[in-house]
A and B are shown apart, each in its own frame.
Chain A
Amino acid sequence: MDVSTAVFAVSCSGTPMTGTRALQKERQLNQFLAEVERRALRIAEIGIRDRDDALDLVQDAMIKLVRSYSERSREEWAPLFYRILQNGVRDWHRRQAVRNRVMVWFGKKPSDDNDYDAVAAAPDPMGRAPEEELSNNEAMERLEIAVHELPARQREAFMLRMFEGLDVAGTALAMGCSAGSVKTHYSRAVHTLREQLEDYRPEQLGSWEGKR
């Protein structure tokens, strides 16, 4: 069964695992999900610009992975998980588009995607000076907006390769396309982002390097 078939396959029957094997599987899955959940949340959040909905999408992806692919090898989990998550993000955008059309039909103002305030949604400070915190938040917001505005497939390729660190093959599995397409999308995304963020580097961003 190829991955595209596997991802959309529906489990028809089965019984829960028991004993040592079940415990081992649960530990492996727990470790995997704990490793990816925070990056996955930020990736989903950049894709849809809504933290609450991003949390829901990540949880849905976790449940679907556990329910349908817990028997797969550990190496397959990351691309499968991100494929489920990216499908969730795409469905979210489709639902938003329909929602806005229905709202217009009912004579209501569609929700504004730009209402999202990345600074307001930014997490608690970690004891840094206010100006440093502000600079870091500003850098993230500029990057977040620039990435969000990329075409959807370029955004997916960029975030999976750059932020999650998937290799080309893993990204291709997650995106359901060829390795060649991944390279093209990624290359175009990087080119666009370099141009857009050119005036913001290297001084501002470079200043972070010594602090990490």
Chain B
Amino acid sequence: MNKPDDTFDRQVKAIFDESVDKLDAATLSRLNRGRHEALAELQRPRRQWSHWMPATGVAAAVLVAVMLLQNSTTVDDFPDAANVTDMEILLGEDSIEMLEELEFFSWIDTADMDSDVG
């Protein structure tokens, strides 16, 4: 006879496994493509990060420092760690999409205002 805990674990695992088994063909296809793209990395020469990383790091640090100093007049106004983290994220490559989205929303706002005036 199973202990209740074993039954719970088995049932939860069964639900999860069921959801894995039921993944649709389009999703499986994307996973398959992603796997092959990852494996293609084996054939590529490793990137020479050391050549450009210092320059990029210094440029980003200078940019952040300038932005922070421009906005700070006293010690009390200096941004906290969370804001610096925000800045790091905003300066990251992945933020381009978010900034494009903001640009789109701004355009929507402008379009709305134009139609209100018209």
A-contacting residues, B11-61, CB 8 Å:
11-16, 18-25, 27-28, 30-31, 34-35, 37-39, 41-50, 53
Q: Is the CB of B18 within 8 A of A94?
A: no
CA distance A144 to B19 in the complex (A): 10
Q: Is the CB of A123 within 8 A of B22?
A: yes
At the interface, yes or no: B86 with Cβ under 8 Å from chain A?
yes
CA distance A162 to B21 in the complex (A): 16
Question: Given the interface contacts A193-B12, A202-B11, does A98 sit within 8 Å of B31 by beta carbon?
Answer: no
At the interface, yes or no: A99 with Cβ under 8 Å from chain B?
yes
Q: Is the CB of B13 within 8 A of A206?
A: no
Q: Is the CB of B89 within 8 A of A140?
A: no
**Size of interface on A: residues with Cβ below 8 Å to B:** 61
A190 → B minimal CB distance (Å): 8
Chain B contact residues: helix, strand, loop or mixed: helix
Chain B residues whose CB sits within 8 angstroms of the CB of A22 once the complex forms: 42
Chain B residues whose CB sits within 8 angstroms of the CB of A63 once the complex forms: 37-38, 41
A144 → B minimal CB distance (Å): 8
At the interface, yes or no: B94 with Cβ under 8 Å from chain A?
yes
Chain A residues whose CB sits within 8 angstroms of the CB of B35 once the complex forms: 30, 33-34, 37, 62
Question: Given the interface contacts A13-B48, A58-B31, A124-B24, does A201 sit within 8 Å of B11 by beta carbon?
Answer: yes
Selected from B16, B38, B90, the residue in CB contact (under 8 A) with A66 is B38
Chain A 6-18 near chain B by CB (<8 Å), digits 1 or 0: 0000111111110
Top-8 shortest CB links A-B: A59-B34, A62-B38, A14-B46, A123-B24, A205-B11, A123-B22, A66-B41, A63-B38
At the interface, yes or no: A74 with Cβ under 8 Å from chain B?
no
Chain B residues whose CB sits within 8 angstroms of the CB of A123 once the complex forms: 19, 22-24, 27
Selected from B11, B45, B53, the residue in CB contact (under 8 A) with A208 is B11
At the interface, yes or no: B78 with Cβ under 8 Å from chain A?
no
CA distance A5 to B24 in the complex (A): 37
At the interface, yes or no: B62 with Cβ under 8 Å from chain A?
no
A-contacting residues, B74-116, CB 8 Å:
85-86, 89-90, 92, 94-95, 98, 102, 105-106
Question: Given the interface contacts A94-B89, A136-B18, A208-B14, does A29 sit within 8 Å of B39 by beta carbon?
Answer: yes
- Smallest Cβ-Cβ distance to A165: which chain B residue: B13
Chain A residues whose CB sits within 8 angstroms of the CB of B92 once the complex forms: 95
Chain B residues whose CB sits within 8 angstroms of the CB of A72 once the complex forms: none
B101 → A minimal CB distance (Å): 8
- Smallest Cβ-Cβ distance to A111: which chain B residue: B101
Chain A residues whose CB sits within 8 angstroms of the CB of B20 once the complex forms: 38-39, 42
Q: Is the CB of A201 within 8 A of B16?
A: no
At the interface, yes or no: A192 with Cβ under 8 Å from chain B?
no
Q: Is the CB of A26 within 8 A of B46?
A: no
CA distance A122 to B108 in the complex (A): 32
